[in-house]
Amino acid sequence: MKAVDKRVDQQMISTVNTLTMINKDILLGLLLIKLLLQLYLLIQSTAVNIHYIPYFHTKHLLLMMSHDGRFN
């Protein structure tokens, strides 16, 4: 009877360890998804700024240039 109890205990420990590993993997996966989403949102917000900045700079440069191409 003791051998059966010991085997059941080993099986329970193994099951708990497996579930713990699965939980850690799930948490790491969710953390990775969260980080990727944050990176995506950061890139999106930066992309908007990058799109606008050259437009304004080009507009300013064109306004500052005289007709012969020199800067005022």
- Residues 2-47 have pLDDT tens digits of 777 888 888 888 998 898 998 898 999 999 999 999 988 888 777 6
64 near 71, Cβ under 8 Å? yes
The one-letter amino acid code at 53 reads I
Q: How many domains does the chain have?
A: 1
Identify the domain containing residue 23 by its residue range: 1-71
Instruction: Give pLDDT, residue 54.
Output: 55
Instruction: Give residue 42's identity as a one-letter amino acid code.
Output: L
d(CA 3, CA 11): 12
CA neighbor of 24 nearest in space, from 35, 16, 13: 16
Taking Cα atoms as reference points, which of 48, 49, 71 lies closest to residue 60?
A: 71
Q: What is the value of pTM for the model shown? A: 0.49
Q: What is the pLDDT of residue 34?
A: 93
